[in-house]
């Protein structure tokens, strides 16, 4: 389901590299976009700030100016990665979680597809459709003393509205794919109220009056999340579109990335009704930050996914074809894929193919 292509004279792209290797892979994605040339409108870039590192320097993780430029002066964006600490830091809140909410980017669409003979084993071709605004990521957590020690509580929010719209998105995506299957991932056997509402709402999507029967040919399956992970590793071929609440979707897509050889290959878009933001699935990878060996392919593929979502199919396809060729030839790869090449060398190889 792509955003309608309006006739644009230019495409304004907000670049938010944020932390760690985000600052290495977003420039790579920018170069790939620039290489596409006449198949997309003239490009205008805005360099924007966000991230934990910014917070440590300035006390702000997501400046109002970043949000304003994304809202008012950008058609789309590319986000790199953020490295939030694992402990509570006063005044800090994850900028990526906030941005998804601020821009109402309710769907995190994460296609995981192997190229050629999959070094990870069986061929994989699935899409994780992750609800992006609710679940435990509403971050309503409290901690209170109790007689037996401190007690921490979190609110898990699942609404019918958000479940319905992510369900519709999953069906729309399935409709465009050969297998036309949606699998709802949940844990309703334990969380019968929250996951129960998610499951029940999505099961009802094909019968909604406004849907008018258009999903009648989409096969609807469901799977308990723990068994879904087990089966994902043993039989990835049973999945086509997996639709999940925020936390399960986050975990499942990293797990699925393992099946195609590296997190450094898996792209995503955060999509809403009026805005789309490409974002590699990987994090900020502090262990390799600054070494020049980060895999740029997930970010480059995220740019391609973003273009296609905006209606620039040909531009997106050209980038993807170039990336796939580089992977299949196997000569210029970063160390996460068993290669010895640098980020810059991989980018050069992709640019030549585009």
Spot the catalytic one: 47, 122, 214, 226: 226
Under the binding rule (CB under 6 A), the answer on residue 84 touching ligand GGG is: yes
Q: Which is nearer to ligand GGG, 84 or 163 (CB)?
A: 84
| Residue from the set 82, 322, 326, 337 that interacts with ligand GGG by CB under 6 A | 82
Query: 108: left (phi > 0), else alpha (psi -120 to 50), else beta?
Result: beta
Q: Are strands 107-113 and 125-131 parallel, antiparallel or unpaired?
A: antiparallel
Under the binding rule (CB under 6 A), the answer on residue 276 touching ligand GGG is: no
Spot the catalytic one: 125, 254, 317, 344: 254
Q: Are strands 219-224 and 181-186 parallel, antiparallel or unpaired?
A: parallel
| Residue from the set 17, 167, 283, 316 that interacts with ligand GGG by CB under 6 A | 283
The structure tokens 């986000």 sit at 79
Distance between CA atoms of residues 236 and 260, nearest Å:
11
Q: The tokens of 124 are what?
A: 């994989």
| Residue from the set 81, 185, 243, 305 that interacts with ligand GGG by CB under 6 A | 81
CA angle 287, 289, 293 (to 5 degrees): 100
125 has catalytic annotation? no
Residues in the chain: 354
Angstrom distances, CA of residue 304 to CA of 70, 212, 267, 277, 300:
19, 31, 9, 11, 7
226 has catalytic annotation? yes
Interface region with ligand GGG, contact rule CB under 6 A, candidates 161-169, 173-181, 199-207, 273-281: 273-281
Query: Greatest CA span in the chain, whole angstroms?
Result: 68
Burial status of residue 245 (CB atoms within 10 A of its CB: 0-12, 13-18, 19 or more): buried
Interface region with ligand GGG, contact rule CB under 6 A, candidates 81-89, 110-118, 319-327, 335-343: 81-89
Query: How many of the chain's residues bind ligand GGG (CB under 6 A)?
Result: 13
Identify the sign of the CA torsion 97, 103, 107, 113: negative
Minimum CB–partner distance for residue 282 and ligand GGG (Å): 6
Under the binding rule (CB under 6 A), the answer on residue 223 touching ligand GGG is: no
Q: Which is nearer to ligand GGG, 262 or 284 (CB)?
A: 284
Q: Which is nearer to ligand GGG, 83 or 133 (CB)?
A: 83
254 has catalytic annotation? yes
Q: What are phi and psi of 15, to 5 degrees?
A: -105, 120
Q: Are strands 241-244 and 125-131 parallel, antiparallel or unpaired?
A: parallel
Q: What binding mask, one character per residue, do residues 97-136 give for ligand GGG by CB under 6 A, x or -?
A: x---------------------------------------
Minimum CB–partner distance for residue 210 and ligand GGG (Å): 33
Spot the catalytic one: 106, 113, 137, 248: 137
Distance between CA atoms of residues 223 and 199, nearest Å:
10
Q: Which is nearer to ligand GGG, 81 or 333 (CB)?
A: 81
Q: Which is nearer to ligand GGG, 91 or 145 (CB)?
A: 91
CB 306 within 8 A of CB 289: no
| Residue from the set 66, 74, 94, 262 that interacts with ligand GGG by CB under 6 A | 94
Q: What are phi and psi of 184, to 5 degrees?
A: -85, 130
Minimum CB–partner distance for residue 47 and ligand GGG (Å): 18
Distance between CA atoms of residues 128 and 253, nearest Å:
6
Spot the catalytic one: 30, 113, 168, 187: 187
Under the binding rule (CB under 6 A), the answer on residue 299 touching ligand GGG is: no
Spot the catalytic one: 19, 240, 250, 320: 250
Per CB under 6 A, residues contacting ligand GGG are 81-84, 94, 96-97, 279-284
List the catalytic residues: 137, 187, 226, 250, 254
């Amino acid at each position: 389901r792509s955003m309608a292509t309006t006739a644009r004279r230019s495409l304004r792209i907000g670049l938010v590299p944020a932390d760690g290797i985000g600052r290495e892979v977003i420039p790579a994605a920018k170069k790939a976009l620039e290489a596409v040339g006449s198949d997309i409108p003239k490009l205008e870039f805005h360099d924007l700030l966000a991230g934990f590192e910014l917070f440590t320097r300035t006390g702000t993780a997501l400046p109002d100016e970043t949000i304003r430029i994304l809202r008012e002066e950008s058609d789309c964006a590319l986000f790199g990665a953020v490295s939030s600490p694992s402990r509570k830091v006063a005044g800090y809140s994850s900028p990526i979680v906030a941005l998804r909410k601020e821009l109402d980017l309710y769907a995190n669409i994460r296609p995981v597809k192997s190229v050629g003979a999959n070094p990870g084993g069986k061929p994989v071709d699935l899409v994780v459709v992750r609800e992006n605004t609710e679940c435990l990521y509403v971050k309503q957590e409290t901690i209170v003393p109790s007689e037996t020690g401190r007690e921490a509580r979190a609110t898990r929010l699942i609404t019918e509205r958000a479940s319905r719209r992510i369900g519709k998105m999953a069906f729309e995506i399935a409709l465009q794919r050969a297998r036309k299957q949606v699998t709802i991932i949940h844990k309703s056997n334990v969380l019968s109220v929250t996951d129960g509402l998610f499951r029940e709402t999505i099961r009802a999507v094909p019968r909604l009056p406004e849907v008018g029967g258009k999903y009648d040919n989409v096969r609807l399956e469901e799977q308990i999340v723990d068994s879904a992970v087990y089966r994902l590793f043993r039989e990835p071929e049973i999945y086509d579109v997996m639709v999940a609440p925020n936390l399960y979707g986050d975990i499942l897509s990293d797990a699925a990335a393992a099946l195609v050889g590296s997190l450094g290959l898996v792209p995503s878009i955060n999509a809403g009704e009026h805005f789309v933001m490409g974002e590699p699935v990987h994090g900020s990878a502090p262990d390799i930050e600054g070494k020049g060996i980060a895999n740029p392919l997930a970010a480059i593929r995220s740019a391609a996914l973003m273009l296609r979502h905006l209606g620039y199919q040909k531009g997106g396809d050209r980038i993807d074809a170039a990336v796939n060729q580089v992977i299949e030839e196997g000569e210029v790869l970063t160390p996460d894929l068993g290669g010895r090449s640098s980020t810059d060398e991989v980018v050069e190889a992709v640019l030549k193919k585009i």
